[in-house]
Amino acid sequence: MKKLLAVLLAVSGLSIGIATAAPPTTDADGITVVHLDEYNGYFSAHETLASLKPGKYQFVVSNKSGKLVGFQIQDYKSHDTLDMFPLEPGESRTSEVTITEHGVRYRCPINPTPWYDLDNIKKS
């Protein structure tokens, strides 16, 4: 039983290590790129969205749902829409926005998803 528990803990630790996402990269122009996959009812981020800072961002959104979906991104505090567009099945599109210390939130307005709040934006 102890060996089985040890194996399960080792596999769990390995799974957690594999699932850890790297921070998004910032190019020479100071634009940080975040990749999002949109599925039926949720988004999956390729990079970690913790510790983002105010600045210019590109959100590369890919439709993995197999049906028409959309992407809407807003200023977290004012709820002003920064960008919004539909995505056909298999389509990817890039949204270029400037994020302030207010943060942002995003969702799919077509295939209803909850708001994903990024209200942890901190100045350097």
Indicate the average pLDDT of the chain.
Answer: 86
The domain ranges of the chain are: 22-118
List pLDDT tens digits, range 45-74.
999 998 899 999 999 999 999 999 999 999
| Residue 100 in this model has a pLDDT that exceeds 50 | yes
Q: Which whole-number Å values give the CA distances from 25 to 13, 29, 81, 84, 94, in the listed order?
A: 26, 11, 24, 23, 15
CB 64 within 8 A of CB 39: yes
Q: What is the pTM of this model?
A: 0.81
Q: Which whole-number Å values give the CA distances from 32 to 5, 16, 81, 111, in the listed order?
A: 42, 25, 19, 27
| Residue 32 in this model has a pLDDT that exceeds 90 | yes
**Under CATH, to which class is 22-118 assigned?**
mainly beta
| Residue 28 in this model has a pLDDT that exceeds 50 | yes
Choose between 3 and 121: higher pLDDT. Answer: 121
Residue 10's identity, in one-letter code, is A
List pLDDT tens digits, range 71-84.
999 999 999 999 99
Task: Catalogue the E-assigned strands of the chain.
Answer: 25-26, 31-39, 42-45, 55-63, 69-75, 81-87, 92-99, 104-107, 116-118
